[in-house]
Amino acid sequence: MVPPIPERVRPFVIAGILFALAISLPISNLFIQRQSLASNNNAEFKAVSDILVAKCADCHTKDLAQYPLYYDFPIASSIAHENVRNAQSSFLIDKKKLSGEIPFSESDVERLSRAMAKGDMPPAQYIALHWDSALNEKEQRTLSKWIDKRLKEFDIRPIPTENFFHPNPEKVALGEKLFNDKMLSASQSKSCASCHSLEKGGADQVQFSIGDNGQKSALNTPTVFNAAYNIAQYWNGRAANLKEQALEAVSNPHEMNADWNEVCSRLRNNETYQKLFLHAYPNGGITAANVSDAIAEYEHTLLTPGSKFDQFLAGDKEALSPEELEGYQLFKKQECFVCHTGPNLGGISFEKLGKTKDYFTTEMPGNRGRIDLSHRKEDLHVFKVPSLRNIELTAPYLHDGSAKTLPEVVQIMSEYQTDKSMTKEEIEKVVAFLRTLTSSSLSTRTKS
Q: Measured between alpha carbons, how far is 390 from 393 in angstroms, rounded to an integer?
A: 6
Residue 215 DSSP one-character state: P
Residues for the chain: how many in total? 448
Amino acid letter for position 9 = V
Catalytic residue among 106, 110, 176, 255: 255
Which backbone phi and psi does 203 adopt, to 5 degrees? -130, -150
Q: Measured between alpha carbons, how far is 374 from 388 in angstroms, rounded to an integer?
A: 26
> How many of the other CB atoms lie within 10 Å of CB of 80?
21
The Cα diameter of the chain in Å comes to: 104
CA distances from 252 to 105, 231, 245, 361 (A): 30, 21, 10, 28
Q: Measured between alpha carbons, how far is 291 from 191 in angstroms, rounded to an integer?
A: 13
Residues in contact with 351: Cβ distance below 8 Å, sequence separation at least 6, in sequence order: 339, 382, 383, 385, 417
Q: Is 255 among the catalytic positions? A: yes
Q: Measured between alpha carbons, how far is 108 from 96 in angstroms, rounded to an integer?
A: 13
Residues in contact with 3: Cβ distance below 8 Å, sequence separation at least 6, in sequence order: none
Beta strand residue intervals within 183-287, DSSP E:
none
Q: Measured between alpha carbons, how far is 400 from 363 in angstroms, rounded to an integer?
A: 12
What residues are labeled active site?
Answer: 255
